[in-house]
Amino acid sequence: MNKQILKVRVLKIELHGRLIGYVAGYQDGKAIFTFVHDYITQDMAKRSTFSLKYYKKTAKDFRYQLKSRIKLPAFFSNLLPEGELREYIVKQLKVDTDAEFDILARLGRNLPGAISAIELSSEEIPPYVLDGRINIIPEITKHPEADHFSLSGVFMKFSMFHRENEFYVSKSKNVGTWIIKIPSLRFLEVPLNEYSSMKLASAAGIAVPKVKLVKLEKIKGLPDIKMPDEEFAFAIKRFDRDAGKRIHAEDFAQVFDLYPANKYRYTNYDTLAKTIFHIFPDSIKDIQEFIARLAVNIMVGNGDAHIKNWSILYRDKINPALSPAYDILFTRAYIESENSIALNLGKEKKTDKLTLKHFEILARRAEIDWQIIKGRITETIEKARDIWPSLLKDLPMAEAQKKKLKKHWENLTPDFRIF
């Protein structure tokens, strides 16, 4: 019997500029990521961490290959944009919206974190990364180097660099250090909402990146995109970039091998808490911060803190730590009927039913001593009650949304009610 003949393209995957593996994309849609031997056999005390799944793992604990039948393996799929941001990018690149290998190949030099993906010529492809059960015809698709970036998420946003009080769209030679979210036609006043929500979170003691409201006239290089008649965009400092250098990061969808479409499914906050507390080296600090953010999301009415909105940073290239908070938004301003958080917390999702008892259940299920987190959650709630009512008056959130937020506060259980 003759072997099936397929064409294949291959990307070399680098982490901090060092080769760690290859992604082979086959004509039939299959994709296979193969680790290189030198990476997985490196001394784990010195090996840069690719994903939390492999943190402090020996070579025998590695899955040598990650396979997918239709899309890229989940880790790489999560590096790509979703929704309207994806629609915009694939239109610019002139590729199909489901052609994930092609999108990764085109955006591979400017991905989130410290991963890069660079296409190889047929002569550069190591034979062991190809499927030996079929006849392979290696090929490389010649494209001009894309001056684009990849950011995960749904809303329209751009990686930008800042110079002389103006922001410029990131190009290949200019590593963007800010993310700019422009106004949305679908949801009004989102930049003012997100800025205000992040400021409320910060006032309650949550670690957040630097944020700004930027006048649209100060943003250079934006494409011709329809926007509402609003003055400001929302700017947030990238925590995976520092002085032009890349810091590796991943979200929890990558950790749990979940595709973006499943970001609200298959896990819960209790599992995230257990992972953080039992794996992260600075476990007490990180679990207390995680618990405080959960409380803030409840109080600020953020129903979209799904698994992709929690990330890990590897500041020293090896050890995991919780990243600063991001994508905190008063979502109930736009979805009146929304009355739940994104994932279960102590077996409950309904915002108006959540109490401290559910956090105790989380602690028990995550095998965490309740006393470790009790003080931080109490402190966070007290800070919010003391500061938020007066702070909200001076924040730029639309007045109609402020009224809705106050109503949300009134509907919370006594444990989380602001006033």
Active site residues per annotation: 304
Reading the block at residue 159, the tokens are 């990686």
Query: Is residue 93 left, alpha or beta, with left meaning phi > 0 and alpha meaning psi from -120 to 50?
Result: alpha
Beta carbons of 163 and 97 less than 8 angstroms apart: no
Beta carbons of 273 and 291 less than 8 angstroms apart: yes
Strand ranges in 170-284 using DSSP code E only, listed in sequence order: 178-181, 211-215, 219-220, 232-237, 241-242, 245-246, 248-251
Beta carbons of 239 and 9 less than 8 angstroms apart: no
Query: What distances in angstroms separate CA 107 from CA 170, 222, 314, 335, one per listed residue?
Result: 12, 18, 22, 33
Of 70, 41, 69, nearest to 57 (Cα)? 41
Which ranges in 58-99 belong to alpha helices (H)?
74-77, 83-93
Of 335, 355, 210, 363, nearest to 273 (Cα)? 363
| DSSP label at residue 5 | E
Reading the block at residue 342, the tokens are 């994104």
3-state DSSP call for residue 221? Answer: coil
Reading the block at residue 29, the tokens are 């849609």
Residue 225, amino acid: I
3-state DSSP call for residue 202? Answer: helix
* DSSP tally for the chain: helices H, then strands E: 11, 19
Reading the block at residue 86, the tokens are 């994806």
What residues contact residue 400 under an 8 Å CB cut-off, 6+ apart? none
What residues contact residue 41 under an 8 Å CB cut-off, 6+ apart? 59
What residues contact residue 403 under an 8 Å CB cut-off, 6+ apart? none
Q: Which helix (H) or strand (E) holds 288?
A: helix 283-300
